[in-house]
Structure 1
Amino acid sequence: MKWACDSRALLVEDHPVNRKLLKRQLGMLGVKVDAVPDAESALQRMERVSYRLVLTDLGLPGMGGEELLRRLHERFRGQVSAPALIAVTGESDPETLASLRAAGVDDVLVKPVSVERLKALLEDWIDGSNPEPASPASCPDPDDGSPDLDPAVLRGLLGEDGAEDARRLIHLFVESARAGMAEAARAIEARDARPLKRYLHRQWSAAGAVGAARFATLAGRMESAVAAEDWETVGECWPQLEATVSGIETYLAADLESFRQQADGRSHKPTRRSGGRHRRQVEQSR
């Protein structure tokens, strides 16, 4: 797949082998790449050239990759045309990932990086590589009758025996959506496009996977509205997005109660087979 003609990436990697390999992989996917060995060179290059992606290793000489990403996040704060900031690291522990999120990182590539993973990243972060999720014209009617959650989506992926796994995935989605809402609300108030777009983009794809189609529709329209600087539509959609998450939480609570009642019913129901076995054992002992 080839990307838009202005799909240009800046790669910051001090190790010559890794730098050459990643540059080659991105080139295979049709991306124009400028590669530099350190953060200072990257900052100088970005004074002259605009990029759609900045990919940086964390263990750079001098200024580290995380500090570089933090500076770039501050430089491009609020700009719709800001490049996607990608960390390239061999670490994937929760502490490292949390630190990178705090630095404003948009996505993480864990070494070794496959061409398939790079392709997926390009589809996520280079505009025009995939269709917009929704039109920014308006928010959907809150009374259109569409459900907040369609459990059949995950059942179709996991099968009937995967009900407990489906429940966990939906719960994880709600936790993730709730965790970023305070920052997203502040971004809306400040009309700060970058953190809001990052939040919406991440949650949009997850919502579709768990069957939260209404959330996905709202997030998609809000993301498109942010890109168009249509803050009125953003403000109209946000309360609906919050209400949708509350609706999914209500579903989870009711589903959990139903699950407990079924479990209690099974635990109190007599089992004829075990009772018969017990009687035979008693008779034999006589």
Structure 2
Amino acid sequence: GLPSVAPRSAGMPRVAEGATVPPDRERAIASGRLILVAEDHPVNQELIRHQLALLGFACDVTNDGVEALAALEQISYGCLITDCHMPNLSGYELARRIREREQGGARHLPILGITANTAPEDLKLCCDAGMDDCLVKPTRLATLRDYLSRWFGADSARQTAPVETVSVPPVSGPDARGAPEPFVPVDLGHMTQLWGSESTVKALLDSFVSSVREDVRALAPLLERIEIERLREWHHRVAGAASVLQYPPLLNALEDYRRDITVKAPERLRSDGLVLASKCNAMLDGIEEQAALLA
């Protein structure tokens, strides 16, 4: 959905295709354009940080609503982009507390919520909490640009053209039984069109592999003593990161494990969880090989 040739604003330096000039943070503060991001997962943090840079915005990133509230006490931000579901303090509660603080004053901080849920009742929760707009994960670069343009003017979000990506042949990884299983590559061309540049895709894949490997390691202790709610929380976290890539093999494997999670016996949840961990590690190995070719 992005133009094949990116327009260049007057006075804006020309950069190589796919390169990103980091916005100046102090200048962004002075002009009221510094954006605060509240997001708990490193993959989503990496994606939105790169997307904002491509659009010409500087940002500060916090890990939850508690950190975001503390940051808002120190700096005057031009906009808040918050995940709706976070530990410690959710995006909904964060928005409500900000609106309570603003009562009786002239200040109104634009708040954009981000949610993986598209049900009308979930989107209504964003409005009820005091958010101005709601984005659906994973957010395309063009969509983010359009939403920010509502608050910063139509010409303030710089448009960036997608670049060509490297074609990567399939690589093999072991399945849960030890037999080789073809690896289905991530569609790098599609990702570049969505996220805005090959450098963004490279950074996103590196962050994805690193953070999801930690999540997979965190599954083992959860399988020793089965607690359904903790497994659900783990699944929500990993599925949220996987949805950014829109990678069907991983999403399907996670959904297979989630299905009927409340009625499966603990022994079945444990054995299926070990199989899932093995599948995830094999996919991450393949994605890591793909990302290495983008260096």
More helix by proportion, 1 or 2? 1
TM score, norm. by length of structure 1:
0.42
**Structure with bigger RCO (C-alpha 8 Å, 6+ apart):** 2
Highest CA radius of gyration, 1 or 2? 1
TM score, norm. by length of structure 2:
0.41
